[in-house]
Amino acid sequence: MEVLKAQNPLLHLYCRAVLRTVSTIMKPVFATTIRSDEEYSYPPPELERVMEEEITSESDEAFLATLQKAVEENEKAGKKLIASRLQLRVLLLSALNTLIGVKRRSDLEKGTQLCEEALTLWSSAVFDRTADPAVPEKFCREQEMQHWVSVLTPNRPIPTPSYKEVREAYLEMLRQMKQFAILLELHSLQEVTEYVESVGASKTLLHVRAILIIILFCKDYNESFLFGLPLPQQILSQLAKEYGAPLYLKVYEGDETMTEAVTRYRIHKLSDPSKLTPAQYAYFKEETRDAIRKWTDEACKNYLLHIETMLCNRGLTHQRLLKSFYGFSQFQERSYACDMNIFLASLPGVDLSGNKEEDGKNLETEFVKSATVLTLYANAYIFRAMELVLRLGYELDLYTQGEQIAVLWYLNFTLRAQTENFNTLYLQNNVSGVLSHIPETRVNKRTGLPVHNVALTTRVAGLIDPVNTVKLEALRSLTDAIFISSNLFEFKKLINLTDGPDGALITPENVFNHRFLKYFGLIRSPPFASYKRCVAAKIDFVQEEKDLLLYATRSSELAQQAVSKIKTVINGAALQGTQRQIILKNTLEELERTAVTTAASLAAFAAVCEEQEKDIAEKYVSRVERPGDKSLVCFSFRKKQ
């Protein structure tokens, strides 16, 4: 660098800018824990020493001022290309420093604006090249070796990238960082979660994901989230506004009326109020508040871990999701204990003697379910995590052919459980008319005792999220169709979905049980479904062709219904013109392609069955394919080549 400084000061300045860019990008990568050994390697020791000397010699502000001065001097001298290159480094370094040091909304706005300016400059014609310059042999990277972080073992040589590849990599990085502006317009935890999951699913660059984590947790790594209310209040506000359960937010915020109502009802049901001392009453009251605080802290911890997990690479995301089930099991138990021991959800306190015996029992069961809000909320976390684990297994191609049917059934079961859980959480399960039977909140004026359990009487119908609801329904219809297609094609010997791989020493049943029991088995509800239980759901076809035709036709209709539902979401008013449309568009379109392919395969199979062709297995074959969504499979049906 010293020789370069003496021979060409301008090139020396540009090289310093490149070194600072590398150093700045390394900061978020090493400040977070989302990297894995396979996707990041240390820079060569010589470069690292130069970077250390370079960074300690001058502050970021002073260096940017020096760069900007050089830009102005070259513009005056008419050296447009050199000025553009230096200006690009100014914009890139400014954007990175602003986003990494983000503290306020204005910082995020400024950082994304700088990314947009850099993107416009990089895309301009001034950076176009018709051919790459010849690189002297001593600078070729074929002689270098990449080192893994963990073992520092040399791997294959890295080829020298072309100018076009380098430029496209920079452009992609700037496009991805520009998308951070979406965060400024997200208004709910569900939208933030969808955004983070879409970033992980699109395999965004490692350093961009690391910067995103810093933006998300810029206030306090353990408490605050983005630039709105602290995360505990956001979670409890979600319970109040979206799920129709305002009681918990009021207790958390210190509402004396509600806190006393919960405390008095518990004392009345569990002990003799007349024998209670003021100190004991104060203890019960504080215990109510403390229970909500601890539950909220646990919910925040699980949410933040989920956000961080989804920003890892896909393999690491799968591993961390599996390991998070121990925390989920504890969260579920705490939620259930809080519902039953503090808010007495099992004692609704509603007189049902006027109803028929069977109706009274059904209503009481529904009342208990409706009052267990915290447990339902914890279950929503768990079911979503189970769905992600099962689908990531498909994306990473982890399952053997003998596990396909069992995994498909488990995935469909998880989606059904999510739908039922949300129906109860939103109070939309109106089969028994539970919402119309919930009494009003009334307090005995003389004793101050609530007439009914306030955990039930404060419940109101939630604000259903039409996008998430219809998407879940579409996924259910699609997985139903895929499951039936797997049964049909295996029955006609078009594909083998029973045996393990050739030469395997372990049966598919043992592989499946060992894969999931250790993690899903930690959850009390739903209990772990073994391989035998999953495979028992296979359809037992009769040899008559009309049964096959009926199943093939109906499952094709199911897949078509899924296509219609997905189109409804894409074109629906709930998404149009919102940032959520940008987030979900790619995911929904991929899902639609999978559904269309499944419907077409089943329709073709139904046509063959209708013609009553003999020896279908000799003329046709089925294969596992991923035409759209990589986290879902479908079974194609086509003629043998």
Of 556, 565, 568, 532, the residue nearest 609 (C-alpha)? 556
Torsion, Cα of 359, 365, 366, 368 (10° steps): 140
pLDDT at 35: 83
Give backbone dihedrals phi and psi of 620, rounded to 5 degrees, phi first. Answer: -125, 165
Which positions of the chain have pLDDT values less than 70? Answer: 1, 37-48, 51-56, 135-159, 219-227, 352-360, 429-433, 542-546
Diameter over CA atoms, the chain: 97
Rounded-to-integer distance, Cα 462 and Cα 467, Å: 15
pLDDT at 105: 84
Residue in this structure with the two tokens 């008419």, named with its chain if needed: 78
Q: Is 435 exposed, middle or buried (0-12, 13-18, 19+ CB in 10 A)?
A: middle
Of 424, 425, 458, the residue nearest 439 (C-alpha)? 458
The one-character DSSP state at 225 is -
| Coil, strand or helix at 78 | coil
Q: In sequence order, what E strands does 304-352 have? A: none
pLDDT at 145: 46
Rounded-to-integer distance, Cα 41 and Cα 286, Å: 52
Residue in this structure with the two tokens 């979905």, named with its chain if needed: 497
For the chain, what are the domain ranges?
1-152+161-185, 229-463, 465-503+528-640
pLDDT at 43: 66
Rounded-to-integer distance, Cα 317 and Cα 324, Å: 10
| Coil, strand or helix at 195 | helix
Q: Residues 202-226: pLDDT tens digits?
A: 989 999 999 999 888 875 555 545 6
Q: Residues 351-398: pLDDT tens digits?
A: 766 566 556 677 888 888 889 999 999 999 999 999 999 999 999 999
pLDDT at 45: 65
The one-character DSSP state at 226 is T
pLDDT at 130: 82
pLDDT at 47: 66
